Structure 1
Amino acid sequence: MSEDVQDQPADGQTEQPDDSVSVVHKARRGPMLVTVAVVVAAIVVLYFLYDVFIGSRSVSTDNAYVAGEVAEVTPLTSGRVVEVMVTDTQPVRRGQILFRIDDSDQRIVLAQAKASMEYARRRYGQSLANDTALGAAADASETQIGAAQAKVASAEATLAKARTDYERRAALADSGAVSGEELTAAREALASAKAAANEAQAGLASARSNAISARRQEEAALALTRGTSVDTAPEVLLAKSRLATAELDLKRTIVRAPIDGVVAKRTIQVGQKVENGKPALAIVPVSQLYVDANFKEDQLGKVRSGQKAELTSDFYGDDVVFHGKVVGFAGGTGAAFSLIPAQNATGNWIKVVQRLPVRIELDPEELKAHPLRIGLSMEAKIDLTSKD
């Protein structure tokens, strides 16, 4: 303690540092500032050169993810699942059976459709036979016209004779050569002949009307079969379409893979009743994946479709480089299609750099050698100097 007190100045004031003592000697400050300025200038020049000759030749982002056109497998007929042949993560080939639906109802409908088809064919044959019968009936009706005309001629001849007999007797009645009874009989014969002639005329008109009606019925029946055959008749074609629908529904009880890929999101179990159009599982086409790279809007000024790209995945690391090309741009930014879009018209607006998804198509051979999965992170770099 005594030594510390002795070291302090007697007047109680602290010692002031000597201005001549400095970390950097005044003589060396100038050259050092010049050196710093030169280094800063060199850094600026190097950055400028990098931006002009290297940085401006490409754009990159780590906001990129693997995507693909996932195939949703939906049954096209309803029924109970009786067998499931696949599970999640299982690779499948196009046309491979995925699951089966109980086809009892579909087989019954198919049997009914087959019976309706046979019935339609028989009905068509019946229509043809009916056409023939109506044609024969129309021909017979026309022959009746000739018989009616003969009756008319006979009745007219009888009427002419009865009229002559009556006129001759009426002329002799005043002379007393013809009795009253004979004149009355002649008058009655004339009236009867007139009635018979009128009846014959009515019969002729009826025969003609019947012939016309029979011919019209024949034409109406022929209208249903004219220009057709047993395979092109409307009722047969309708039965064929119903039969084809029934056969298709039966075929759809066996659900097959629409594409090559890996099974995902399987939601069906044996015994479960599935409905028409309800998704049962999904298939990811691992050989046809692409990358959606979300570039900043100020990076896209020189990006064009067809430009080449290099991509790396966190899954494989930097040792595996994927090659692809730009195939298109999204129709809007992610913010524009978000569930709750930003309300930029409010007074609290702050500008945020937007990102636009750019689709990059991957090389199928590289995907085959190094498979990817949907949702994996990627780093994408687009060569702005390349052309399609």
Structure 2
Amino acid sequence: MSATESDKTVNTTADDNDSGLAAKNPAKRRKTLLIMLLVFVAIGVIWFLLWTLVFSRRETTDNAYVGGNQVAISAQVPGTVVAILADDTQHVDAGQILVKLDSTDASVRLSQARSALAQAVRQVRQQTDSASGSDAAVAARQIDLKKAEADLKRRLPLIAAQAEAPETIQHLRDAVDQASAALTSAQAQASAEHASIEGTDIANNPAVLQARANFRAAWVAAQRNTIYAPVSGYVAQRSVQLGNSVQPGQQLMTVLPLHDLWIDANFKEGQLRHIRIGQPAKIETDIYGSNVEYHGKVIGLGAGTGSVFSLLPAQNATGNWIKVVQRVPVRIALDNQELDKHPLRIGLSSDVTIDITDDRGAVLAPQTEHPAVAETTVYDQMASKADAEADQVISANLSSSGNTGSKHSN
């Protein structure tokens, strides 16, 4: 076979192969396109179902942080720091001593107030005894007047019979006038004596109450040289040092209660359309990751955007204006039992997902009475102890046979 014939044979074979591939490629292409179309349709269906059943029923944000109360511990009276009994990161209980101030001056003022209270009680006792003496004097003057009137009445018939000198009768009339004047003077004196004690007993006399109030203020001031923790929590930001001269209102440290915490989730304004009070929420924090999930509920929406409450609010009325999507803080309460198992710290980052399936709730909190957000009885105990101390001072200075009166109560 010549070379020319061989080339013709090869060309014929190649042409046959190209014709076969051309016949198969359209079918294969259609099959490939159909598979791709089905894949895209399946992806669209899955996305539609996910949006309908999942994504449209929740709002999420990672602009969320743990919030809590920050109780500033400050001095209530001036003084010099002589002891610091709590430091950063330490746990303290409500009523525990945190700082002590020098109490020398306060002790002197308390002693003065105690002496003034005792003196006030004794003065009122003296006024009470003096009033009793004035009453006795009035009774004596009444007897004298009756005697003078009786003498005059008995002598008047004698003058009609000319058995008595007119001068004697005049002397008797003068004696009656003198006795009457003495009675009037005694009654005025008794009235003046009773004016300061009338209508009250010794313990509730205005002078005693004034001295008692001064003693109570001095006692409380002396106690405030010892600074107590108003709530239980952890100490942070301790700035006080030994020897510092502190003034009322000066912050010494902060106590952070880590039990009643919340989440401030900052949602975009477009996400607030279906968020309502009472909706459940799930929270994941960066510190624990997805291994720990907290459950809470929406308890309120902020009254304004963050930019409104910033130090320098945006001036959107200027000519150069660019629209910026605003965010509104949504407060979410956490479960304290979950916090006990996995403690959090104020300011930690978190991811929040709110279930908005039921959007029939209220957007704004109702105008109803709410319990106290936080309260302490530490200072009430201090006041009750001051009253008990004042009662002891009053009782010690009341006479055993006199009017002991009733103890004062606030």
1:219-243 CA distance string (max 9 Å, x none): 3322432343332222222222222
**Whole-Å separation in 1 of the counterparts to 2:243 and 2:252:** 13
Q: Which amino acid aligns with 2:182?
A: N
SS at match of 2:273: coil
User: Which amino acid in structure 2 is aligned with residue 120 of structure 1?
Assistant: A
Q: Secondary structure at the match of 1:218?
A: helix
Alpha-carbon separation, structure 1, partners of 2:269 and 2:177: 94
Deviations 1:166-217 (A, max 9, x none): xxxxxxxxxxxxxxxxxxxxxxx9xxx46x7656545533432331232133
Distance in 1 between the 2:238 and 2:148 partners? 84
Contact 1:307 1:326 in 2 (8 A): yes
Letter in 2 for 1:116: A
Larger radius of gyration: 1
Structure 1 position 279 matched with structure 2 position 256: no
CA deviations over 1:83-136 (Å, ceiling 9, x no partner): 111222222222222111111112112211221121122112101111111112
* Counterpart Cα distance in 1 of 2:253 and 2:133: 60
Alignment of 1:167-186 (within 5 A): none
Partner of 1:78: 78
Identity of aligned residues (%): 39
SS in 1 for 2:259: helix
**Aligned-residue offset at 1:326:** 1.5
Aligned to 2:310: 338
Partner of 2:206: 234
SS at match of 1:242: helix
- Bigger shift: 323-332 or 34-43? 34-43
Cα deviations by residue, 1:218-271 (Å, 9 ceiling, x for unpaired): 133224323433322222222222222222222222222222221111111111
Distance 2:319 2:175 in 1: 102
Q: Distance in 2 between matches of 1:214 and 1:29?
A: 132
The one-letter code of the counterpart of 1:214 is A
Give 1:310's aligned residue.
282
Residue 119 of structure 1 is matched in structure 2 by 119
Distance 1:85 1:353, change over 3 A: same
Kindly report which structure 2 residues correspond to 1:140-219, keeping only aligned pairs within 5 A, or say none. 140-149=140-149, 193=166, 200-219=172-191
CA distance in 2, matches of 1:386, 1:376: 29
Task: Give 1:380 deviation, angstroms.
Answer: 0.8
**AA of the residue aligned to 1:118:** A
Name the amino acid aligned to 2:180. R
What CA RMSD, in Å, does the superposition of the two structures yield over aligned residues? 3.2
Task: Report the equivalent of 1:49.
Answer: 49
Tell me the distance in 1 between the aligned counterparts of 2:327 and 2:189: 77
Superposition map of 1:81-120 within 5 A: 81-120=81-120
- Contact residue 308 and residue 386 of structure 1 kept, 8 A: no
2:134 is aligned to 134
Q: State how far apart, in whole Å, the 2-side matches of 1:276 and 1:45 are.
A: 68
Aligned residues: 336
User: Which residue matches 1:351?
Assistant: 323
* Alignment pair present for 1:299 and 2:271: yes
User: What is the match of residue 66 of structure 1?
Assistant: 66
Equivalents in 1 of 2:28, 2:326: separation in Å?
50
Alignment of 1:251-290 (within 5 A): 251-290=223-262
Q: Quick one: which of 302, 320, 330 aligns to 2:292?
A: 320
C-alpha distance in structure 2 between counterparts of 1:68 and 1:354, whole Å: 23
User: How far apart are the structure 1 equivalents of 2:277 and 2:92?
Assistant: 33
Find the counterpart in structure 1 of residue 390 from structure 2.
none
Deviation at 1:332, TM superposition (A): 1.2
Q: Distance in 2 between matches of 1:315 and 1:128?
A: 73
Quick one: structure 1 residues 41 and 199, their matched pair in 2 at CA, closer, same or farther if it must change by over 3 Å? farther
Q: Return the alpha-carbon distance in structure 1 between the equivalents of residues 106 and 36 of structure 2.
A: 87
Provide structure 2 residue ranges, at least 5 long, that are not aligned to the other structure: 1-24, 362-410
Give me the whole-angstrom Cα distance separating, in 2, the residues matched to 1:293 and 1:213.
Answer: 82
Take 1:329 and 1:199, find their aligned partners in 2: how far apart are those partners?
Answer: 97
Q: Using a 3 Å threshold, how does the CA distance of structure 1 residues 297 and 76 change in structure 2: closer, same or farther?
A: same
Alpha-carbon displacement from aligned partner over 1:131-169 (angstroms, at most 9, x marks no partner): 11111221222233235436756886787688x99xxxx
2:230 aligned counterpart, secondary structure: coil
Distance 2:189 2:41 in 1: 108
3-state SS of 1:280 partner: strand
- Code of the aligned partner of 2:143: T
What residue identity is the alignment partner of 1:283?
V
SS of match in other structure, 1:123: helix
Structure 2 equivalent of residue 360 of structure 1:
332
The answer to whether residue 341 in structure 2 is matched with residue 369 in structure 1 is yes
**Aligned-partner SS, 1:365:** helix
What SS does the corresponding residue of 2:249 show, helix, strand or coil? coil
Structure 1 residues 220 and 37, CA gap change in structure 2 (3 angstroms): farther
181, 191, 194: which one aligns with 1:222: 194
CA contact (8 A) 1:73 1:279 kept: yes
- Give unmatched runs, 5+ long, in structure 1: 1-24, 166-188
TM-score normalised by structure 2 residue count: 0.72
